[in-house]
Structure 1
Amino acid sequence: MRVESMSPGARWWYALKPASWPKVLVPALCGQALGAAAAGRVGAGALAFGALWMIADVAFVVLLNDWGDREVDALKRRMFPDGCSPKTIPDGILPAHALLLAGLGAGAAALLVAWVAGVALARPLLLPLGALGLLVFGAYTLPPLRLNYRGGGELLEMAGVGGVLPVLHAYAQCGAWAPAWLAALLPGLLLLALSSALASGLSDEQSDRAGGKRTVATLLGNAATRRATEALLGLGALLWPAASLLAEGAPPLWSVAPATAVALHFRARLVRKSPEAVTNAFAAQGAYKRELHRAIWWGTAALSAAVLAAGLRAGGGPG
């Protein structure tokens, strides 16, 4: 890719990293589906809120993450000039101040959307929950906390992606922040989000270590991170049918079993690719993470569709 020949629109599109959006969009859609299942109907206003809030939230997260990681991104480009894609700030695609201002503007837009929707939909917790989602990310990568550097960033990502996002969007649909079906399935969603958070550090292991980041990959190494990723993925998927069988007020087994089958199918493919995804094997790590993302995103999508069908069929799941 020749940076100097990119148009302004292409530069911003590259900076927004659309390939990474499902990491945030899929749990949001899952929350919408579980909230609609609890309500027994799909609310158009809540869907509109979800679409607008996610556009602003994704821009906030992606742009400010690049701003916060600009120094370690530059370090990685120096260490592996041919081993990773161009970085937005170090490679001169966009200046740091432009990403900072655009990211902060996107965060303000997300709060505005949550406030307006909270009034229009009579959902007073939308603004506090939306602010919580932004604050979780802020604690993850922005000063003064920067817990992705100090340690604990993966747990914050688990809480934000696997917890706050589904809760926020379920609340928009049904007016309850923890409907019974969501509460039953949330532990599985949290573990899947944690597995993704651990794996995201694999390709940055050595540059993050050199840059002073404290992640599971920098502290425990590549092999232990892969083992933990695979274990969390499998356990998270199995918690869905376990909740259906054991938790009171959980969705029926037929609505969660297909999602578990999808996730475990791609987990098996992930495990087969695991031995090649060693430190600095960037192409193999990319193939490894593609199978992980398929397990999480397609499994969660299957869960969302089937549980929504169950809720609509029953005229609303437990609140």
Structure 2
Amino acid sequence: MGPSFKYVIIPASSFDAIQELSLEIPEGQEVECFLNKVKKHFSVTGGERSESQKENQKQLLIKQLGEAASNVDPTMLETAVNMQMVENISLLPNSAETSYVGVNMYCDDQAQMKGLELNNRASQLAQCCGKLIEVRGDAFLARVFDNEDDFKRMDLTIQEVSSSAAWVMKAHEMARRKEQSGGGYQAQKDFLDRLNKKKLRTDKGGNPPLTTEVRELSPAEIEKEEGNAAFKRGDWKAAIERYTSALTLDPKLIPALNNRALAALKLGMAKEAEIDCNLVLECEPLNVKALLRRATAREQQANSNTKHKYQEALDDVIEALRIEPLNKEAAVQKSRLLQLFEQERSVPEQKI
């Protein structure tokens, strides 16, 4: 196995965990291996451009080329328009001041045209580094050493995705020095004000306003994020181990409890899942996810000797629908439970 390096992906959806990944470096492909990986990701995610959007991009490209456009082969022009490219944003410049070690953010250069959603976390991180930008779609972070003579991929870990990370603070300091004489901070404030006003008009998800701070993950939250990553790849056992580690550090970390319950359900550990859901609901009685997961756990435990579990599961689903009347998952679960409950009622109780 050849050399590899660690990098981070910040998904556009705030419901998806930030992940730390690793990529092996093929011999002689230190520069392009990561770019090819990112291009492939962007080419298969985030939607496609319409024909009118492609035509608009083509006309923009012709305008940029000016007189030289008449000498460009039409086929090459079409290829350029359809080519997936990556926008490389330098968050921490690789200069002599940073010993030529920089951190870059890689985004889909067609994100705006594809209509991808605003990536709040990546936008906030970029703004912490002094970059007044809106990031759309998934974003990647990677560290490099590049002094124009030598190039090397270096590790960047999930623990470094915070406003207090050394590289972010250094980037912020460098941006502040550069902008001090030009009113950069007022420009940043104006930018964030405009962005938040637009979010108030378009964001129905109840997300908090953008700030120039990215809250640092606690050790427990880092473990929870690792659990989320394990869950997404289908490793339920590893996910439970990570969530348990998170809860050892912070017993009141509700998302870890709730997610551990779901991982337990995947492994058929219904009793354990019910216990976790009970703990969640003690703290958050209106937590619909916990209610539905407890309903599933109770349903899995129900049999001819424990018919009451069907009723308990049904009670959970009815409560979930009371809180969220339009919840489709709860409606489907209620319909199924009503059928099962009626079937079990017709079966005589077995005596032990």
- TM-score using structure 1 length: 0.27
More helix by percentage: 1
More strand by percentage: 2
Q: Which has the higher contact order (CA 8 A, sep 6+)?
A: 1
